[in-house]
Amino acid sequence: MSFLDKDYREIITKAVIGKGKKFTQDTHTITPSHRPTSILGCWVINHLYNAKKKSEDTIEVNGSYDINIWYSYNDNTKTEVVTERVTYCDYIPLGVLDDNCINDDYDVICKVLQQPNCLECRISNKGNKILVDIEREFMVQVVGETKIFVKVKPRGYKHHDDDESWDYAVTEDELGNLNPDFLESSSASREKD
């Protein structure tokens, strides 16, 4: 197709020019103030993140969250909650990428598909640390300016009357509602006039 083809127009618009998705599992090591006897609970809160374009085909997501672990110690006679803020950096490859982007002015949209979540929380083999397995998943989209080509009608747009676009077929329901004596009663009233 020629760029000067009279049947086409170039439109510059913002569009999604790249997409990617990544699922990650991490193991974090937490050091409590006491030697744990058993794990009573674990939860992840306060997730914060931001995303930026790292290279032509990669998005970098930096984030952090708090891991809270409720554990017992001293032979299950006392309990405590340990909280630790952890950070992460995920690199998400763009699986779908449009090479026809006009400039380098991009917007990155990042959506959490799976919030950071505890899969397993266990005491380490040496017994003085706690290991926490976390999962998370992101989907990213890159929005940028691109060109689209639109075919136009060579002879322009022809306006049609609205009546031409209506379907005047009579349905069975409409036929059932007709008054068979309508024409006779209309003729009789005209004869009286």
pLDDT digits (tens, 9 = 90+) for 127-167: 899 999 999 999 999 998 888 888 887 666 665 555 555 55
Q: If pLDDT is split at 50, 70 and 90, which confidence band does 106 have? A: confident
Residue 122's DSSP bridge partners are 131
User: What is the spatial distance between Cα 87 and Cα 36, in angstroms, rounded to a whole number?
Assistant: 24
Amino acid letter, residue 118: C
Q: Is the pLDDT of residue 89 over 60?
A: yes
Domain boundaries, the chain: 20-95+116-140
pLDDT of residue 25: 96
For a pLDDT cut of 70, what percent of the chain falls above it? 77
More confident site: 192 or 87: 87
Share of the chain above pLDDT 90, in %: 53
Structure pTM?
Answer: 0.69
**How high is the pLDDT of residue 185?**
56
Which residue type, as a one-letter code, is found at position 102? I
In this predicted structure, what is the pLDDT of residue 61?
96
Return the pLDDT at 156: 61
Q: Quote the DSSP letter at residue 76.
A: T
Average of per-residue pLDDT across 41-47: 97
Please write down the long-range contacts of 122-127, taking CB distance under 8 Å and 24 or more positions apart. Answer: 122/39, 123/36, 123/38, 123/39, 124/29, 127/35, 127/36
Among residues 56, 19, 57, 23, which one has the least CA distance to residue 142?
19
Asked if pLDDT for residue 33 goes beyond 80, the answer is yes
Strand ranges inside the chain, DSSP E: 8-30, 36-55, 58-73, 78-93, 96-97, 107-123, 130-151
Return the amino acid letter for 90.
D
pLDDT at 163: 52
Cα 165 vs. chain centroid, distance in angstroms?
38
